Every structure is written in structure tokens, then in C-alpha cells.
């Protein structure tokens, strides 16, 4: 053999050795080990996580050659491609096997329980018993309280940042109450300090700017509040003494300060009335209602649907509180995110007024009403909530039974149909609710165990 041939063979052997081909452990060899990524992780119930299995050379193992198994299907399930979905509280081991070799990942699943829930325009927020705030849904303006939500959701012909599961609001603040508006959220600490996040183009966050915020910012002015309520573009709060303040959009006088000037910081509602409850509502044209300790309801702002209850419908800006007509004494009020208002008496009788094209007033008709009318059926309610950009209403009895009525195109009534009931219709499913809240076209509630339940979209 020539020296050239020997040299060629030697070079070939060196090449094979450098590639690992001589000992069967190179890239063309079989699977020797399986490594999972991540090897340890946590999920919320309902959350999904994609796992990756790789061999000893870092090659991702995919296709029918890999089998995926969970040790506890009641805790977490895994698909044939390694997508893990949290099911219920507990721990599970996920195993991927290829060519007889296996790797494992440990998952811990936690389900959230909430003390209260608040439905906004196309987002929802809730408070855990610890006071931590969680939000989910649409969030191009920061309304879920995180800078970069994990998903993109199609809404009509557009796509928006969103979160498909509850995410912890940034900042780590502990709250005692929260409410969700059209595209913003506000919450109170135990000391009564108000913080808001989300869209802010009308000053509805109250931080003296019009900058959108992706984490809670303090409402300016140093006021302490006993309660807050959010409309689509404005926010209102009550102090412990019953003084009312509002901020944000004011195109129809919904801030109640005698003007139609937007405010990026709290301003006092004119008139010097002391209230025990305040409720902000309305769409782009907002309005507000409040209740005195004597049970007299007052409203101000937009009245295009007759939602102020002053006996007439008009397009004027009502920039100061006006008494709701009639002789009904109320114990609670709720202003919808559209153009209707509802209230409860101390005996639990429900009355509504305003726009009624889809039966949101629950009186068995589609005629708008400019003064309170009784909701049909004689049901005794412990809570009533007016919602819906188009208009729907829900109530909860003292035993936790929920009823809804009004616009139901996407299922916000929760009765198993898409028909618009003109009178209260029982929510399907047999759940017992401790509270409800209604957004633009969805309804949310917490059952007596604190689990969030959603109706509609």
C-alpha cells in the first residue's frame, strides 16, 4: 500500500473518531439519555406548558418515536406532543420515552380561590383571600397588570395581547377591594389608598397623567377611600365620611363637578351630599349614581338612554347629582357599562331603568323606562348587578341562586341558550354564588368556595 493510501485511511479514521462514529455515541447513534426541559415547573389549573425532550446530543425528540405519560391524570394531563395542562391541585411526574430511554419532569399544580371577582370590558380581575390581585383577558392597555401578556387573542378582525389564565398583577401590593372598568382596574389597600392600572387616555387612573400603566400606580391627592367604582372611562370613590370624588372622562358631566372637563386627578362631586354607595357606569358617554344613607338615589352624567332615572331621556350633560324620580327607597344600586341602572330595596325587590332594547330592565318588555320599574317575577335578591355595553342584568338570591336577563348573543346570561330573556332566567349549572359581576358581554361570579365561574365570552 502506498504512503498516500495509508495517509488517506488514517485521516478517515481520525475524522470518524472526532465525530464519535467509532464508539456508537455520535449524532447518528441511538438515544442514550433523555433530558426534559424544564425539569421542574409549576402550573395553575387550566394553564398549559410545552415540554421539550432532548437526547444526549441536544437533539429535540419529536414525533411518534416519543411517548408522553403523566403519573397523575387528575392533577396534570400531557398530550402526545408534550403539552402539559394543569387540572387540579397536586403534583405529577411527566415522563417522555424514546427508544427505551426515559426522562422525567416534575409539575406542581395549584388552583386559585378568589374572595371576589370583577368583570370589565373584555378582561376580568379577582382578589385572592391573601389580597393578591389577579387578572386575565384582553390587555393591550395594561389592564391585566403585566407588561407582556403571554398570548395574542383575536377579537373581530384584530389581534390583541391577552392572558388566557389569571396572572398576578405586578407590584406585589395587597388589596381589600377592586373593580374593573372598560379597560382599566382600580383597587384599595386596607388603609384606603387607591391604585389603578390599564388604559388612561382620559385620566381614569387618577395619577395626574394620561399615560397607560401596566402595573398599579397610586391615585394622586392623598385621599383615602372606603369604596371605588369604575365606568368605561371614569372612576369614582367614596371616603369613609361619604364624600364622593371622581376622575377621568367628563364629556357628559359624569364626574359630577359641575363641568364637562376631563380630570386626571380626583375632584369632589358638587352638592355636598353624603353617600353610602357610589356606582360608575356608561360606555364612552359615562354616568354615575349614588345612594344616600336615607335610601335616596341620585344620578348624573349621560342620559341618552334614560339611565339617570329623572323621568326623561335627553342628550344633555347632567354635571351635578339629580334625584332619581319616584318613591322607591333603595338599599343598593348598580350602574351598567351601557345605558341602564338597577337597584334593590331593603326587602330585596329589584327595580331598573334606562335603555331596554334587549330586555335589560327585566320588566317583560323592550321599552325604555325613564323612572324605576319593578323587575318581573317577584324574586327576592341579595345582590343585583347591571352590566353589558348593550345591556344585561344579573341578580343573586340569599341562597346563592343566580338569575340573569337581557342581551345574550354570546351567552352572558348563562342559561344555556343564546336567546334574550326579557325577565329573570335562572343561570344553568346548579352553582351557588356568593357574588356576581357583569362586564360588557360576559358575567363572572365566585361560588361559595371562592372558585371563579364565567358566563359568556
What structural domains and CATH numbers belong to the chain?
1-28 (no CATH), 35-110 (2.60.40.1080), 116-456 (2.130.10.30)
Give the contacts of 217 (CB within 8 A, at least 6 positions apart).
195, 196, 197, 205, 207
Quick one: average pLDDT of 108-123? 90
Four-CA torsion 114, 115, 118, 119, nearest 10 degrees? 40
Share of the chain above pLDDT 70, in %: 91
The least confident of 21-30, 414-423, 427-436 is: 21-30
What is the structure's pLDDT at 216? Answer: 98
Q: How confident is the model at residue 112 (pLDDT cuts 50, 70, 90)?
A: confident
**CA–CA distance, 356 with 366 (Å, rounded to integer):** 5
Tell me how far CA of residue 22 lies from CA of 5, 7, 16, 27, in angstroms: 20, 18, 6, 12
Distance from the first to the final alpha carbon of the chain: 80
DSSP state string for 267-333:
EEPTT---EEEEEEEESSSEEEEEEETTS-EEEEE--TTSTT-SS------EEEEEEPSSSPPPSEE
Is 18 a residue whose pLDDT tops 60?
A: no
Q: What is the CA radius of gyration of the chain?
A: 28
C-alpha cell at 181: 372598568
pLDDT digits (tens, 9 = 90+) for 368-400: 999 999 999 999 999 999 998 889 999 999 999
Instruction: With beta carbons less than 8 A apart as the criterion, state whether 445 and 433 touch.
Output: yes
Per DSSP bridges, beta strands 158-168 and 133-138 are antiparallel
Q: How confident is the model at residue 111 (pLDDT cuts 50, 70, 90)?
A: confident
CB atoms < 10 A from the CB of 17, how many? Answer: 12
DSSP state string for 213-236:
EEEEEEPTT----SEEEE-SSEEE
Work out the angle at residue 165's Cα, subtended by the Cα atoms of residues 164 and 167, and round it to the nearest 5 degrees.
120
What is the structure's pLDDT at 299? Answer: 98
Closest to 142 (Cα-Cα) out of 192, 88, 66, 195: 195
CB atoms < 10 A from the CB of 313, how many? Answer: 17
pLDDT digits (tens, 9 = 90+) for 246-302: 999 999 999 999 999 999 999 999 999 999 999 999 988 999 999 999 999 999 999
Quick one: average pLDDT of 294-316? 97
Q: How confident is the model at residue 9 (pLDDT cuts 50, 70, 90)?
A: very low
What is the structure's pLDDT at 23? Answer: 40
C-alpha cell at 98: 424514546
pLDDT digits (tens, 9 = 90+) for 72-94: 999 999 999 999 999 889 999 99
What is the structure's pLDDT at 14? Answer: 41
Look over the chain and give the mean of its residue pLDDT values, rounded to a whole number.
91
The least confident of 116-130, 147-161, 174-188, 308-322 is: 147-161
**CA–CA distance, 446 with 75 (Å, rounded to integer):** 22
C-alpha cell at 160: 390583541
What is the structure's pLDDT at 22? Answer: 37
Q: Strand, coil or helix: what is 170?
A: coil
Share of the chain above pLDDT 90, in %: 79
Cis check: omega of the bond before 38, within 30 degrees of 0 = yes
C-alpha cell at 99: 427508544
Is 202 a residue whose pLDDT tops 60?
A: yes
Is 4 a residue whose pLDDT tops 70?
A: no
Is 133 a residue whose pLDDT tops 90?
A: yes
Higher pLDDT, 343 or 29: 343
Instruction: With beta carbons less than 8 A apart as the criterion, state whether 66 and 98 touch.
Output: yes
Is 351 a residue whose pLDDT tops 90?
A: yes
Is 454 a residue whose pLDDT tops 80?
A: no
Q: How confident is the model at residue 28 (pLDDT cuts 50, 70, 90)?
A: low
What is the structure's pLDDT at 448? Answer: 52
Q: How confident is the model at residue 29 (pLDDT cuts 50, 70, 90)?
A: low
What is the structure's pLDDT at 369? Answer: 98
Q: Strand, coil or helix: what is 106?
A: strand
Quick one: average pLDDT of 205-220? 98
Tell me how far CA of residue 357 lies from CA of 81, 307, 325, 376, 414, in angstroms: 48, 13, 21, 16, 19
CB atoms < 10 A from the CB of 56, how many? Answer: 15
Instruction: With beta carbons less than 8 A apart as the criterion, state whether 186 and 238 touch.
Output: no
Amino acid at each position: 500500500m502506498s504512503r498516500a493510501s495509508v495517509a488517506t485511511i488514517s485521516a478517515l479514521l481520525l475524522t470518524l473518531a472526532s465525530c464519535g462514529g467509532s464508539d456508537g455515541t455520535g449524532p447518528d447513534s441511538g438515544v442514550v439519555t433523555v433530558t426534559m426541559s424544564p425539569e421542574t415547573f409549576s402550573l395553575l389549573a387550566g394553564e398549559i406548558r410545552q415540554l421539550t425532550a432532548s437526547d444526549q446530543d441536544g437533539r429535540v425528540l419529536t414525533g411518534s418515536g416519543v411517548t408522553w405519560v403523566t403519573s397523575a391524570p387528575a392533577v396534570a394531563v400531557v398530550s402526545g406532543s408534550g403539552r402539559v395542562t394543569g387540572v387540579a391541585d397536586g403534583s405529577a411526574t411527566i415522563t417522555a420515552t424514546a427508544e427505551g430511554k426515559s426522562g422525567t419532569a416534575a409539575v406542581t399544580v395549584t388552583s386559585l380561590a378568589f374572595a371576589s371577582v370583577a368583570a370589565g370590558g373584555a378582561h376580568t380581575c379577582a382578589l385572592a383571600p391573601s389580597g393578591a390581585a389577579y387578572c386575565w383577558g384582553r390587555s393591550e392597555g395594561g389592564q391585566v397588570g403585566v407588561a407582556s401578556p403571554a398570548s395574542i387573542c383575536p377579537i373581530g378582525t384584530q389581534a390583541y395581547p391577552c392572558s388566557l389564565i389569571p396572572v398576578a398583577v405586578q407590584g406585589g401590593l395587597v388589596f381589600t377591594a377592586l373593580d374593573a372598568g372598560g379597560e382599566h382596574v382600580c383597587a384599595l389597600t386596607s388603609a384606603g389608598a387607591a391604585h389603578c392600572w390599564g388604559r388612561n387616555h382620559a385620566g381614569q387612573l387618577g395619577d395626574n397623567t394620561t399615560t397607560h400603566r401596566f402595573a398599579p400606580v397610586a391615585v394622586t391627592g392623598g385621599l383615602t377611600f372606603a369604596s371605588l367604582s369604575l365606568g368605561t372611562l371614569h372612576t369614582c370613590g367614596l371616603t369613609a365620611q361619604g364624600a364622593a370624588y371622581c376622575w377621568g372622562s367628563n364629556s357628559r358631566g359624569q364626574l359630577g363637578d359641575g363641568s364637562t372637563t376631563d380630570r386626571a386627578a380626583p375632584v369632589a362631586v358638587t352638592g355636598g351630599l353624603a353617600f353610602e354607595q357610589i356606582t360608575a357606569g356608561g360606555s364612552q358617554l359615562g354616568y354615575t349614581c349614588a345612594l344616600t344613607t336615607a335610601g335616596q338615589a341620585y344620578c348624573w352624567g349621560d342620559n341618552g338612554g334614560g339611565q339617570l332615572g329623572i323621568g326623561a331621556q335627553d342628550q344633555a350633560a347632567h354635571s351635578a347629582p339629580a334625584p332619581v324620580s319616584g318613591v322607591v327607597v333603595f338599599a343598593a344600586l348598580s350602574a351598567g357599562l351601557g345605558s341602564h341602572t338597577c337597584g334593590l330595596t331593603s326587602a330585596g325587590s329589584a327595580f331598573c331603568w334606562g335603555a331596554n332594547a334587549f330586555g335589560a330592565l327585566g320588566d317583560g318588555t323592550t321599552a325604555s323606562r325613564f323612572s324605576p320599574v319593578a323587575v318581573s317575577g317577584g324574586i327576592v335578591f341579595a345582590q343585583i348587578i347591571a352590566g353589558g355595553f348593550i345591556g344585561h342584568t344579573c341578580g343573586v338570591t340569599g341562597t346563592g341562586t343566580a338569575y340573569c336577563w337581557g342581551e345574550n348573543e354570546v351567552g352572558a346570561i348563562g342559561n344555556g341558550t343564546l336567546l334574550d330573556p326579557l325577565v329573570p332566567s335562572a343561570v344553568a349549572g346548579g352553582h351557588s354564588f356568593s357574588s356576581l359581576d357583569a362586564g360588557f358581554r360576559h358575567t363572572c361570579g365566585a361560588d361559595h368556595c371562592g372558585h371563579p365561574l364565567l358566563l359568556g365570552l
